Amino acid sequence: MTRALIADDEPHLALYLQEQLALLWPELEIVHIARNGNDASAAIEELEPDLAFLDIQMPGLNGLEVAQGIEGDTRVVFVTAFDRYAVQAFDHAALDYLLKPYKSDRLVRTIERVKAALALQAAGHDAPGDARFANALQQLTRGPAAPARLRFIRAGQGEYVHQIAVSDVLFFHADEKYTVVQTASAEYLIRTTIIELTEQLDPEQFWQVHRATLINLNYLAGTRRDERSRMFLRIKGHASELRVSRAYVHLFKAM
């Protein structure tokens, strides 16, 4: 049985999608309805549904950010009232997108596409378009490209300001308010977000591997897959492993 999650901050719209899906795809089980991005992200992590219908503009994490944080096999269909860029970027890349308000025959088409992709995945194939999906996500969450290359990070600590060469950074990892700058010897807190960092750092050297994580390729020691085919990265000079979101796994297949 296929399991799905719906995330939309407007309850009538979430309920409507649930009703329509019950009509048109009765075998589909809706495991959770989320009212915001944070809830959606946590529920996807916990319940590991096969499918997530994500509204793009939501409080907390937005739909794009939720998609960037998915580590397991959950596939995404974006549901949005309007997002010119998203529509363009996802036209080929996402599993599908729905424009609100939608007619039921449009939803039927989405259901067919999803079923086909899930069948491919069950047969052990990767669905086409994964790489494009990740690229599109990255383009959407970033602003227009700024060519400026950052060479040093400045991090305040008490009365000191530390200057850290970018080449010494193993990885950046974001939590709620701060971004952790991890070097071999220490960690520092800065206020710059991961999105801002990806805009300012060399994309050849720094790879985003998760909504919250940006790694320095020079320190990548290897990858590991667990039994549920989730991917983890080992970093030189750092004990714990880093998680890779599903949208970025393809980056390491080509290596």
Mark the segment that binds another protein (CB under 8 A) among 32-40, 107-115, 209-217, 237-245: 32-40
List the one residue from 1, 26, 27, 101 that touches another protein (CB under 8 A): 101
List the one residue from 42, 47, 100, 150 that touches another protein (CB under 8 A): 100
Do the beta carbons of residue 163 and residue 188 sit within 8 Å?
no
CA distance linking residue 177 with residue 118, whole number of Å: 36
Query: Alpha-carbon dihedral of residues 207, 193, 155, 175, nearest 10 degrees?
Result: -90
Is the previous residue joined to 101 through a cis bond, with omega within 30 degrees of 0? Answer: yes
> In this complex, which beta carbon is closest to another protein, that of residue 86 or of residue 117?
86
Do the beta carbons of residue 171 and residue 235 sit within 8 Å?
yes
Could you say which residues in the range 80-99 bind another protein, by CB under 8 A? 81-82, 99
> In this complex, which beta carbon is closest to another protein, that of residue 58 or of residue 233?
58
Tell me if 142 contacts another protein by CB under 8 A: no
Q: How far is the CB of 140 from another protein (least distance, A)?
A: 10
Tell me if 38 contacts another protein by CB under 8 A: yes
> In this complex, which beta carbon is closest to another protein, that of residue 15 or of residue 221?
15
Do the beta carbons of residue 2 and residue 29 sit within 8 Å?
yes
Mark the segment that binds another protein (CB under 8 A) among 30-38, 123-131, 144-152, 199-207: 30-38
97 DSSP β-pair partners: 78
Tell me if 193 contacts another protein by CB under 8 A: yes
> In this complex, which beta carbon is closest to another protein, that of residue 59 or of residue 222?
59
SS3 102: coil
Task: Output 80-84 pairs: Cβ under 8 A, ≥24 positions apart.
Answer: 80/55, 80/56, 81/57, 83/56, 83/57
The amino acid occupying position 29 is E
> In this complex, which beta carbon is closest to another protein, that of residue 121 or of residue 193?
193
> In this complex, which beta carbon is closest to another protein, that of residue 20 or of residue 205?
20
CA distance linking residue 140 with residue 226, whole number of Å: 30
Report the interface residues with another protein, using CB under 8 A.
9-13, 15-16, 19, 35-36, 38-39, 57, 59-60, 62, 81-82, 99-102, 193
